[in-house]
Amino acid sequence: MTAPLPFRNADLPLAERIEDLLARLSLAEKIGQLMHDNPAVPRLGLPAYNWWNEGCHGVGRNGRATVFPQAIALGATFDRELVRRIADTIATEARAKHHAAARAQDGATQQYQGLTFWAPNINLYRDPRWGRGQETFGEDPVLTGELGAAFVQGLQGDHPHYLKTAACAKHLAVHSGPESQRHGFNARVSDRDLRESYLPHFERLVRAGVEAVMGAYNRTNGEPCCASANLQRILREEWGFTGHFVSDCGAVDDFHRGHQVTPGPVESAALALHHGCDLNCGCTYHDLAEALRRQLVTEAEIDRSLRRLLRTKFRLGLFDPPERVPGATTPLAVVNSAAHRTVARRAAVNSIVLLKNNGLLPLASSVRNLMVVGPGAASVDALLGNYFGLNPQLVTLVEGLTARAPEGCRVGYSPGCLPDDASTPPSPAAIYECSCADVTIAVLGTLPVYEGEEGDAFASRAAGDRPAIELSESQRLFLAKLRANQKPVVLILTGGGAIACPEAHEWCDAILHVWYPGCEGGHAVAEVLFGDAEPGGRLPVTVPRATVDLPPFEDYAMAGRTYRFATKPPLYPFGYGLGYTTWALADLLCQPAAVGSAEPIEASVLIRNTGTRLGRTVIQFYVSPPPGGGGPDVKLVDFATLELAPGTVTRVAGRLPAATWSVHGEDGRPRHTPGDWQIIAAFAAPVDRARELGVPAPLRKHVDVT
């Protein structure tokens, strides 16, 4: 028997294996490996491999999978461990599906069958009009960084040599709409906003070991993000990133077609490669051969990028015997298994945000006639969001409620109104049926056809974005007629972001935001409505009162945006959410803090469940700098989820890193700032509106930072 080629020898050092394979590839073969759809190299036994796979809330676009709640709903859980477990479950299903596909195709994989996931999307949800905000974890860099790092850890696993799958932090940087302009848009942002808001969560994921980073379509301060010397310097020199960098799909072509920073594809390919873009999602890198002939790039630059890509392939075990690779024998039976659906249901329950409750919920056992209405009530789309997989058991909200309602309780259903057509009046029959019901469950809000990535939504919409964040006029009119019945109404909002509905807050007896809750969404909503489970979510975004309260969409300055910089009172604040029990805080403690110290300090607070039910809550630790210190007036620094039985008390600690006591200057550099800081323990962002909504008062402690 002949010995295997050195790159096939799993006992050799990784660097040695990479160099051996690199030396065996021709220049044309090397260029082929720099594009997302890698051709096979039969003479070396290398099968075709497609790098493009999606998995922001389940294995996406590849048939059967467990569909978890959309990413923004995962943000609403504020739960690192749950998010890590979800990502680990996604990776388990991905391994099963990948190896089954490879066995059936002589080792080759097609698009969406690989082990390289272009997830998570950790862009800051700076403006609720952005249609892709649903793919993110919310508007706060600390929440986004912590949940994003947990997602990476779940996808990639903890094996010392092998990745379970490869995660990708996207999209670097300053990317959050408008979708219709992304291929030519120049996002202008100050050094302070860049460092204070748009980059911290990317650094968190890099330091957590994320394998890949994806560049955004737009330019940032004049440089295309997929060919930015400044972003590459930050990424590799400041943060020590050693993984590979991939372009968003078609972004390199945008250099000459949209941004017009190069005259054509040859120059675009050269610019991207020269500035650190290792993998081209697209086909522009075909022109690297011509760029090399014209001496616009060197073979050394091609080799540099290919080494990074081969490192990922080796770490995924793509060149090793299956018996050496953890997960290579994962059976397809794990996909959509009962255990995985249990995780999906728990995630959905813990993401549901109770925005209002006048005592109607949980529904009393005396309820004998429920009417379920609204465009989202029987909609599969209302479960899925975008970047979704499919599932043979998608439980809609009306199905979940019908399954859970006790025998003897009549459940009726009607769509009631069109989602966005005020010229067609609401159904008189539906309104009459609701007038006869004990309680109406109205499922309104946003559906994926009205928000998403460019091209996802109907052509009549703003290429995926929402021009206005209010409840549509047709749905508002329908809700007004339901209110006129003088019967109790529970409003269930679906959608991937903030929905401004101040009238609904006045009209309805209870309001829940359920996002796009995934394959178990109907069961989860029913559990919460009937009191089998606590609504566990907290808002990962601020809900404004109206679109007019927002700064211009195209302005990337953070002034006036998110809870950290808002100047107008919200309808619902960041971090807010009610439950079925009550809570109290006491005895906030904090260690002394010293400027210049590299060590984190700890703050802690006593939390008591003062109600009569088991409860789940999220304790949030904020800080506020000295007056005139600059930066946001208040910022989240840590958070923790907990469950407590009625009458019990526990002490919960928050970690305050050394950077807590820093304020960014106009040059973007953090400056340790002595003075009178405040540490705040709260159940929502510490704004006046939270108190108006019944949130217990936050506790504040002054800390003299020296």
β-pairing, 369-373 with 410-414?
Answer: parallel
Nearest CA-CA partner of 477 in 499, 497, 504, 500: 504
Looking at 88, 127, 248, 253, which residue is catalytic?
Answer: 248
Angle in degrees, 0-180, between the axes of helices 80-104 and 141-156, rounded to the nearest 10? 40
Nearest CA-CA partner of 142 in 631, 563, 542, 638: 638
Nearest CA-CA partner of 556 in 237, 186, 251, 301: 186
Distance CA 177, CA 118 (A): 19
Largest CA distance in the chain: 84
Amino acid at 677: W
Distance CA 425, CA 310 (A): 59
In sequence order, which residues have a C-beta less than 8 Å from that of residue 700 and are 6 or more positions away? 588, 678, 679, 680, 686
In sequence order, which residues have a C-beta less than 8 Å from that of residue 590 and are 6 or more positions away? 601, 602, 603, 604, 656, 679, 701, 703
Concerning whether 549 is annotated as a catalytic residue, the answer is no
Residue count (the chain) = 706
Nearest CA-CA partner of 528 in 402, 334, 363: 363
Distance CA 598, CA 409 (A): 61
Angle in degrees, 0-180, between the axes of helices 473-484 and 428-436, rounded to the nearest 10? 40
Q: Contact 25/39 with Cβ under 8 angstroms?
A: no
Which residues are known catalytic residues?
248
